């Protein structure tokens, strides 16, 4: 049997091991620590390669690659978005990711990212809200109670202390699922019969719906002064959640403007409409919320640097744990140029 060189081994985090890792850390602590990694990487934003994600669209959904590098590490995520999957008993979003060493090109980590994407999305939303939401934030409306909703609630509690939730989904079973999952975790939960009812009294409004279509989840009359909107669901061309009039009276913050103009709520606006990339707020070169009555909008479509941060965090947390498998992923011949010789020796050993 071939002896596997340590150089050929790549840690792999399966869904089962990701769940074990998250639970060993604690979900809310995981979100807080992950948000810190994301904020750290946003603060060194200029050092990263940046490009809008590479998307392959179909009538059923989209498959995307999301790459970035800081010059020392390279990361990418493969992710899909297929709203119809839910009707077939499948996940709407699935993902996996790779972290690699730029110097050698060798992968250092292969990980599931379906669960990890939900965690990093919640962590990113709450990280931004700490700078953009009003100081008196106490209540959040979550419109769209699918796979992301519980992670949003837990992230906002962990980072902002929000405990009062107002839930609404056009599918009552989704709302009941969310309520049931959060019921024993110390939230005060109000199940609402409409989006209008959900936003009443909410300082933060999170929209996180799944349908791939132009939609109006929030109309202009539903959004009062001083509210922070965390728009998470609009994440591809032809998919929006907010009425255009909300955008024109909001201070808009995005991750990477060239990508958000293609995929986010601001695809409804002229290409020269002013927006602020959130890293500028963290680095102090642009203001966040400037007045109590201001309407702030985080038009979040997800960006590769957030996934890079998540992979970097998971790699660091794996040290000294059993929550990964060792994959014999890389060819490692005795002599680097003799790849065929490695194959020939394997044939000889098998006879």
Determine the Cα–Cα distance for residues 71 and 237; give it in Å rounded to an integer.
30
Determine the Cα–Cα distance for residues 54 and 47; give it in Å rounded to an integer.
20
Report which of 317, 310, 263 is spatially closest to residue 76, judged by C-alpha positions.
Answer: 310
Do 198 and 141 touch, CB atoms closer than 8 A? yes
Report which of 188, 184, 183 is spatially closest to residue 138, judged by C-alpha positions.
Answer: 188
Q: What are the residues facing 297 on neighbouring strands?
A: 229, 252
| Angle of CA points 45, 50, 52, to nearest 5° | 130
> Looking at 169, 211, 220, 235, which residue is catalytic?
235
How many other CB atoms sit within 10 Å of the CB of residue 32?
A: 17
Q: Is 235 part of the annotated catalytic residue set?
A: yes
Q: Count of alpha carbons within 13 Å of 183, Cβ hemisphere only?
A: 8
Do 163 and 28 touch, CB atoms closer than 8 A? no
* Encoded tokens for 58: 């179909």
* Encoded tokens for 53: 């994600």
Q: Which letter does DSSP use for residue 4 in this model?
A: P
Which residues carry out catalysis?
235
């Amino acid at each position: 049997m071939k002896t596997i060189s340590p150089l050929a081994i790549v840690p792999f985090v399966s869904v089962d091991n990701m769940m074990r890792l998250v639970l060993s850390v604690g979900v809310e602590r995981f979100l807080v620590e992950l948000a810190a990694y994301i904020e750290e990487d946003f603060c060194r934003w200029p050092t990263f390669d940046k490009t809008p994600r590479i998307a392959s669209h179909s009538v059923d959904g989209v498959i995307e690659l999301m790459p970035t590098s800081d010059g020392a590490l390279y990361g990418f995520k493969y992710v899909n978005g297929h709203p119809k999957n839910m009707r077939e008993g499948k996940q709407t979003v699935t993902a996996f990711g790779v972290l690699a060493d730029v110097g050698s090109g060798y992968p250092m980590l292969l990980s599931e990212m379906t669960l990890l994407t939900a965690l990093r999305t919640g962590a990113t939303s709450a990280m931004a809200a700490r700078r953009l939401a009003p100081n008196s934030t106490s209540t959040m409306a979550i419109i769209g109670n699918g796979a992301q909703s519980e992670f949003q609630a837990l992230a906002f509690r962990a980072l902002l202390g929000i405990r009062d939730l107002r839930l609404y989904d056009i599918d009552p079973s989704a709302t009941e699922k969310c309520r049931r999952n959060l019921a024993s975790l110390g939230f005060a939960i109000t199940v609402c019969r409409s989006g209008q009812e959900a936003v009443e009294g909410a300082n933060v409004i999170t929209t996180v719906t799944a349908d791939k279509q132009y939609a109006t989840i929030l109309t202009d009359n539903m959004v009062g002064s001083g509210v922070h909107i965390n728009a998470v669901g609009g994440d591809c061309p032809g998919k929006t959640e907010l009425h255009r009039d909300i955008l024109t009276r909001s201070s808009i913050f995005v991750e990477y403007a060239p990508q958000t103009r293609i995929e986010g709520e601001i695809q409804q606006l002229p290409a020269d409409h002013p927006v602020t990339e959130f890293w500028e707020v963290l680095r102090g070169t642009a203001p966040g919320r400037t007045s109590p009555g201001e309407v702030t909008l985080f038009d979040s479509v997800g960006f590769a640097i957030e996934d890079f941060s998540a992979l970097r965090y998971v790699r660091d947390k794996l040290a000294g744990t059993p929550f990964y498998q060792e994959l014999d992923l890389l060819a490692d011949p005795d002599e680097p140029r003799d790849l065929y010789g490695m194959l020939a020796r394997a044939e000889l050993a098998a006879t």
